[in-house]
Amino acid sequence: MLVALEGRLRATLWRLAREFAYLALLGTSYIPPCSLLRRRVARVVEPEFISFMAARIGGDVPDVYLNSALGMRLGGVPRCEILHDVSPELYQLCNAIRTRGYVPLYKAVHEVVVPLALSASVAGLEEGDILLASYRAAAGKGDLSAVLRYFDRWVAIGKFF
Protein backbone atom coordinates (compact mmCIF):
# COMPACT_ATOMS: atom_id res chain seq x y z
CA MET A 1 0.00 0.00 0.00
CA LEU A 2 2.80 2.43 0.86
CA VAL A 3 4.56 1.82 -2.43
CA ALA A 4 1.40 2.57 -4.40
CA LEU A 5 0.74 5.68 -2.31
CA GLU A 6 4.29 6.90 -2.81
CA GLY A 7 3.97 6.30 -6.55
CA ARG A 8 0.76 8.32 -6.73
CA LEU A 9 2.36 11.15 -4.74
CA ARG A 10 5.44 11.18 -7.00
CA ALA A 11 3.24 11.18 -10.11
CA THR A 12 1.19 14.11 -8.80
CA LEU A 13 4.32 16.09 -7.94
CA TRP A 14 5.79 15.43 -11.40
CA ARG A 15 2.55 16.39 -13.11
CA LEU A 16 2.33 19.67 -11.19
CA ALA A 17 5.99 20.38 -11.96
CA ARG A 18 5.35 19.75 -15.67
CA GLU A 19 2.41 22.13 -15.67
CA PHE A 20 4.38 24.92 -14.01
CA ALA A 21 7.30 24.30 -16.38
CA TYR A 22 4.86 24.51 -19.30
CA LEU A 23 3.47 27.81 -18.02
CA ALA A 24 7.00 29.15 -17.50
CA LEU A 25 8.12 28.00 -20.94
CA LEU A 26 5.22 29.73 -22.67
CA GLY A 27 5.43 32.74 -20.40
CA THR A 28 1.70 32.79 -19.83
CA SER A 29 -0.71 32.51 -16.95
CA TYR A 30 -3.44 30.88 -19.06
CA ILE A 31 -4.32 27.54 -17.50
CA PRO A 32 -5.24 24.77 -19.98
CA PRO A 33 -8.74 23.27 -19.62
CA CYS A 34 -7.65 19.80 -18.46
CA SER A 35 -4.97 21.06 -16.09
CA LEU A 36 -4.53 19.89 -12.50
CA LEU A 37 -4.65 23.55 -11.54
CA ARG A 38 -8.35 23.63 -12.46
CA ARG A 39 -9.23 20.74 -10.14
CA ARG A 40 -10.18 21.11 -6.50
CA VAL A 41 -7.30 21.19 -4.02
CA ALA A 42 -8.51 18.09 -2.17
CA ARG A 43 -8.66 16.12 -5.44
CA VAL A 44 -5.08 16.99 -6.40
CA VAL A 45 -3.42 16.84 -2.98
CA GLU A 46 -5.16 13.83 -1.53
CA PRO A 47 -5.41 13.57 2.27
CA GLU A 48 -3.46 10.31 2.15
CA PHE A 49 -0.49 12.24 0.75
CA ILE A 50 -0.34 14.39 3.87
CA SER A 51 -0.59 11.32 6.09
CA PHE A 52 2.18 9.60 4.10
CA MET A 53 4.53 12.59 4.32
CA ALA A 54 3.75 13.03 8.03
CA ALA A 55 4.66 9.39 8.66
CA ARG A 56 7.95 9.81 6.78
CA ILE A 57 8.88 13.11 8.42
CA GLY A 58 7.67 12.54 11.97
CA GLY A 59 7.68 8.76 12.17
CA ASP A 60 9.63 8.74 15.43
CA VAL A 61 6.87 10.67 17.26
CA PRO A 62 4.26 8.07 18.35
CA ASP A 63 1.19 10.35 18.07
CA VAL A 64 2.16 11.53 14.60
CA TYR A 65 2.90 8.02 13.37
CA LEU A 66 -0.36 6.59 14.77
CA ASN A 67 -2.50 9.38 13.32
CA SER A 68 -0.68 9.15 9.99
CA ALA A 69 -1.08 5.38 9.80
CA LEU A 70 -4.79 5.74 10.47
CA GLY A 71 -5.00 8.54 7.89
CA MET A 72 -3.34 6.37 5.25
CA ARG A 73 -5.64 3.43 5.99
CA LEU A 74 -8.87 5.40 6.28
CA GLY A 75 -8.13 8.08 3.70
CA GLY A 76 -7.97 11.12 5.92
CA VAL A 77 -5.73 13.88 7.16
CA PRO A 78 -4.02 13.53 10.54
CA ARG A 79 -4.80 16.11 13.19
CA CYS A 80 -3.18 19.31 11.99
CA GLU A 81 -2.25 20.42 15.51
CA ILE A 82 0.17 17.54 16.05
CA LEU A 83 1.98 18.37 12.80
CA HIS A 84 2.97 21.87 13.92
CA ASP A 85 5.96 20.68 15.97
CA VAL A 86 7.02 18.12 13.36
CA SER A 87 6.99 20.31 10.24
CA PRO A 88 5.54 23.84 9.94
CA GLU A 89 5.15 23.40 6.17
CA LEU A 90 3.15 20.20 6.61
CA TYR A 91 1.00 21.97 9.22
CA GLN A 92 0.37 24.82 6.77
CA LEU A 93 -0.49 22.35 3.99
CA CYS A 94 -2.86 20.45 6.28
CA ASN A 95 -4.68 23.65 7.22
CA ALA A 96 -4.86 24.73 3.58
CA ILE A 97 -6.47 21.42 2.60
CA ARG A 98 -9.00 21.68 5.42
CA THR A 99 -9.96 25.28 4.77
CA ARG A 100 -9.52 25.57 1.00
CA GLY A 101 -9.95 21.98 -0.18
CA TYR A 102 -13.09 22.78 -2.16
CA VAL A 103 -11.64 25.59 -4.33
CA PRO A 104 -9.69 25.08 -7.57
CA LEU A 105 -5.96 24.75 -7.08
CA TYR A 106 -5.16 27.87 -9.09
CA LYS A 107 -7.03 29.97 -6.49
CA ALA A 108 -5.04 28.49 -3.60
CA VAL A 109 -1.74 27.88 -5.38
CA HIS A 110 0.30 30.12 -3.07
CA GLU A 111 -1.02 28.37 0.03
CA VAL A 112 -0.65 24.82 -1.29
CA VAL A 113 2.23 24.41 -3.75
CA VAL A 114 5.15 25.78 -1.71
CA PRO A 115 4.27 23.83 1.48
CA LEU A 116 3.65 20.72 -0.64
CA ALA A 117 7.02 21.02 -2.37
CA LEU A 118 8.90 21.71 0.87
CA SER A 119 7.17 18.87 2.71
CA ALA A 120 7.93 16.46 -0.11
CA SER A 121 11.58 17.52 -0.07
CA VAL A 122 11.82 17.01 3.68
CA ALA A 123 10.14 13.61 3.27
CA GLY A 124 12.96 12.59 0.93
CA LEU A 125 11.22 12.95 -2.42
CA GLU A 126 13.32 14.78 -5.02
CA GLU A 127 10.15 15.66 -6.92
CA GLY A 128 9.51 18.30 -4.26
CA ASP A 129 12.64 20.18 -5.35
CA ILE A 130 11.58 19.92 -8.98
CA LEU A 131 8.10 21.23 -8.17
CA LEU A 132 9.52 24.17 -6.23
CA ALA A 133 11.92 25.07 -9.05
CA SER A 134 9.12 24.85 -11.64
CA TYR A 135 6.79 26.97 -9.51
CA ARG A 136 9.47 29.63 -9.05
CA ALA A 137 10.13 29.67 -12.80
CA ALA A 138 6.41 30.04 -13.56
CA ALA A 139 6.18 32.90 -11.07
CA GLY A 140 9.10 34.63 -12.79
CA LYS A 141 11.46 34.25 -9.83
CA GLY A 142 13.48 31.28 -11.02
CA ASP A 143 15.68 30.14 -13.86
CA LEU A 144 13.82 28.31 -16.63
CA SER A 145 16.92 26.55 -17.94
CA ALA A 146 17.47 24.95 -14.52
CA VAL A 147 13.92 23.61 -14.61
CA LEU A 148 14.17 22.21 -18.13
CA ARG A 149 17.22 20.14 -17.18
CA TYR A 150 14.93 17.95 -15.06
CA PHE A 151 12.96 16.81 -18.09
CA ASP A 152 14.29 14.24 -20.57
CA ARG A 153 12.54 15.56 -23.64
CA TRP A 154 10.53 18.61 -24.51
CA VAL A 155 7.58 16.35 -25.26
CA ALA A 156 7.43 15.32 -21.59
CA ILE A 157 6.44 18.85 -20.59
CA GLY A 158 3.29 18.91 -22.70
CA LYS A 159 2.01 15.46 -21.71
CA PHE A 160 -0.16 16.67 -18.86
CA PHE A 161 -3.23 17.27 -21.04
Task: Quote the pTM value.
Answer: 0.84
> For the residues 7-28, what does the mean pLDDT come to?
88
Specify if 161 maps to a domain: no
pLDDT of residue 127: 87
Domain span including residue 52? 2-155
106 within domain boundaries = yes
Domain count of the fold of the chain? 1
Query: With bands split at pLDDT 50, 70 and 90, how would you rate the model's confidence at 103?
Result: very high
34: which DSSP letter?
A: T
Residue 124: is it exposed, middle or buried by C-beta count within 10 angstroms (0-12/13-18/19+)? exposed
Does 160 reside within a domain?
no
Per-residue pLDDT, 117: 92
Work out the burial of residue 8: count CB atoms within 10 Å of its CB; fewer than 13 is exposed, 13-18 middle, 19 or more buried: middle
Whether pLDDT at 156 is above 50: no
